[in-house]
Amino acid sequence: MSASSPDSRPPSIGRRTLLGAAAVATPAVLGVATPAAAAPSPAASASARKKPRALPGGGDLGPNVIVFDPSTPGIQARLDQVFRQQESAQFGTGRYALLFKPGTYNGLNAQLGFYTSIAGLGLSPDDTTINGDVTVDAGWFNGNATQNFWRSAENLALVPANGTNRWAVAQAAPFRRMHVRGGLNLSPDGYGWASGGYIADSRIDGQVGPYSQQQWYTRDSAIGSWINGVWNMVFSGVEGAPAQSFPNPPYTTLGTTPISREKPFLYLQGNDYRVFLPEKRTNARGVTWGNGTPRGTSLPLSQFYVARPGVSAATLNQALAEGLHLLLTPGIYHLDRPIQVNRAGTVVLGLGYATLIPDGGVTAVQVADVDGVRLAGFLVDAGPVNSATLLEIGPRGASRDHSANPTTVQDVFVRIGGAGAGKATTSMVINSRHTIVDHTWVWRADHGEGVGWETNRADYGVVVNGDDVLATGLFVEHFNKYDVQWNGQRGRTIFFQNEKAYDAPNQGAIQNGSIKGYAAYKVGDGVTTHEGWGLGSYCYYNVNPSIVQHHGFAAPVRSGVRFHNLLVVSLGGQGQYECVINDTGSPTSGTSTVPSTVVSYP
């Protein structure tokens, strides 16, 4: 396949080596009370000694946040050093954030490896211009981009050296608030396999070429043009997007995104760090920063507890209880109890793929049923002792109306196994109403360490119990039972990408009562209103290719439960689907790796 004559047909898959295919917060408490003039009693003194000292806000961002300005010497050498370390460290412990102060940088090529984030520190992407490239390619994996996970680019303007920037990524690799003054190539050098991806709040002046990318979601952006599609290309609120045409070409195009609120981001005001909190938009279209300063509010870094790896969960919870937000600097955090987010408007922002590991079977993060919490930019890695849940948004039974100020979960990724032993019955549970899940990859590992049908057992990926929840960019893969189980009313999903678990040993292991296999996306029997656009499920039963999956999607047959542009694919004939949704849709067959589609259901 050549750039001059792109082929819209899917590449030959074979083993598809994916083995991986705005409330302003309460001011921070910065000191301790002045002692009373009278001498305290011994009992009072003992009590005072036990009371933890108030934690400071702000502070240094730590050694793995590397900050450049245009006068910094040796920028390219430092970028290359980080890349050499991270290029193939898929399950390593290194975590890095590369931050560029506003200004112009010339002649750079920032190649990004695993757990590396690059970002500008202006209020607008155009405040920080790189005359050069931010590159993701797949040389480390023989030209196969299907494992280019866990890296990100945000808030930069790029003027690519040859006119087109290469961003050949797979899951958990967001491209946010970027301005590419040229084209964007989403495939690896040589047009090998690729399976991404996500763009939001970005402007690409030239052409976007997905080439071999099997699926992609672009939200609230502006593009010059889009050249081809393989299986599942979804657009919402994108100026310049191709017209609706699924399944040939496979474009699902919504003129607007119903509700969106962009991810919080770190920036500089003078010499002071602040965190910008973009405002909520309804029926959104195009970028938030097109007229300069985006709309929203901001918080000084002094209102954040700047956490370093090694800090305890008790200290993180103390900071939250004192009214501070959390900024998680790059690294790995072990938790012996959940991080409890109980205050409305709390921000928990990770840098450089900060990673939370719950020990002893605890939940990593629990959010109360309150308004406007923002969780963004971190990875939750299951521990070796089974956790009932890893991330909980709202307690069971949560019912408050958060429509005016929803909780957002953005670039929060979940992994069970791969880096080591891990188990979790349910990865992410959404109980609070009106929650927006904007780009997540919830992954039961199919390669790496600690992998096996029972070794990294994880029955459910995402369970939605809350009403009025919106998912934009939902990637959930390889769970032992339902990948997504949606029980709440009036739920909506724009773009869903799924692979069923590769490693089922036999047909009986996936049997769901009288049904062959658990659907990738199951809408609860009691749901009366639900809608989804651009949803795909793939099977690759490589341990036992004779396994048959009845359908990818299951839902009650009601006029209020509607789906648009569904597909299922058997990758190289390793297992087959009998239907697409319920009992509707043609079966997959043979080894041709051709999708079976349903344009509208019911």
Per-residue pLDDT tens for 402-415?
A: 999 999 999 999 99
Q: Mean of the pLDDT values across residues 242-256?
A: 98
User: Which residues fall within 8 angstroms of residue 39, CB to CB, at 6 or more apart?
Assistant: none
Gap between the Cα atoms of 416 and 421, Å rounded: 8
> pLDDT-derived band of residue 293, with 50, 70 and 90 as boundaries?
confident
Gap between the Cα atoms of 5 and 332, Å rounded: 45
> pLDDT-derived band of residue 292, with 50, 70 and 90 as boundaries?
confident
| % residues pLDDT > 70 (the chain) | 91
The continuous run of DSSP H or E covering 320 comes out as: helix 313-321
CA 540 vs CA 67, 450, 496, 584, 593: distances in Å: 43, 20, 17, 21, 10
In the predicted model, is pLDDT for residue 23 greater than 50?
no
In the predicted model, is pLDDT for residue 2 greater than 60?
no
Separation of CA 533 from chain center: 18
User: Burial of 449 by CB count in 10 Å (0-12 exposed, 13-18 middle, 19+ buried)?
Assistant: middle
| Residue 499 known to be catalytic | yes
Gap between the Cα atoms of 602 and 559, Å rounded: 7
Gap between the Cα atoms of 122 and 116, Å rounded: 19
pLDDT (0 to 100) of residue 537: 98
Pairing of strands 280-284, 257-261: antiparallel
Q: DSSP character for 46?
A: H
Pairing of strands 272-278, 265-269: antiparallel
Gap between the Cα atoms of 377 and 383, Å rounded: 19
User: Which residues fall within 8 angstroms of residue 270, CB to CB, at 6 or more apart?
Assistant: none
pLDDT (0 to 100) of residue 553: 99
Separation of CA 294 from chain center: 22
Gap between the Cα atoms of 233 and 226, Å rounded: 10
Q: Rounded to 5, what percent of the chain is helix, strand, coil?
A: 5, 40, 50
pLDDT (0 to 100) of residue 52: 62
Q: Mean of the pLDDT values across residues 296-306?
A: 98
Continuous H helices in 51-141: 75-86
How many residues would you count in the chain? Answer: 602
pTM, full prediction: 0.92
The answer to whether the bond into 197 is cis (omega within 30° of 0) is yes
26-60 confidence digits (pLDDT tens): 333 222 222 233 344 444 444 444 556 799 999 99
CA 128 vs CA 98, 104, 119, 156: distances in Å: 13, 6, 9, 6
pLDDT (0 to 100) of residue 51: 58
In the predicted model, is pLDDT for residue 197 greater than 50?
yes
> pLDDT-derived band of residue 88, with 50, 70 and 90 as boundaries?
very high
Give the type of residue at 585: G
Q: Mean of the pLDDT values across residues 321-325?
A: 98
Phi, psi of 264 (to 5 degrees): -60, 150
pLDDT (0 to 100) of residue 11: 36
The answer to whether the bond into 309 is cis (omega within 30° of 0) is no
In the predicted model, is pLDDT for residue 8 greater than 50?
no
In the predicted model, is pLDDT for residue 5 greater than 60?
no
Summary mean pLDDT of the chain: 92
Gap between the Cα atoms of 179 and 205, Å rounded: 8
pLDDT (0 to 100) of residue 580: 98
> pLDDT-derived band of residue 19, with 50, 70 and 90 as boundaries?
very low
Gap between the Cα atoms of 103 and 121, Å rounded: 9
pLDDT (0 to 100) of residue 49: 46
Gap between the Cα atoms of 470 and 472, Å rounded: 7
- Active-site residue, selected from the candidate residues 322, 449, 499, 578: 499
> pLDDT-derived band of residue 18, with 50, 70 and 90 as boundaries?
very low
Categorise residue 270: left if φ over 0, alpha if ψ from -120 to 50, beta otherwise.
left
> pLDDT-derived band of residue 7, with 50, 70 and 90 as boundaries?
very low
pLDDT (0 to 100) of residue 16: 38
How many CA atoms lie less than 13 Å away from 314 in the CB half-sphere? Answer: 3
Q: Mean of the pLDDT values across residues 474-479?
A: 98
Query: Tokens 């429509």 identify what position?
Result: 403
327-372 confidence digits (pLDDT tens): 999 999 999 999 999 999 999 999 999 999 999 999 999 999 999 9
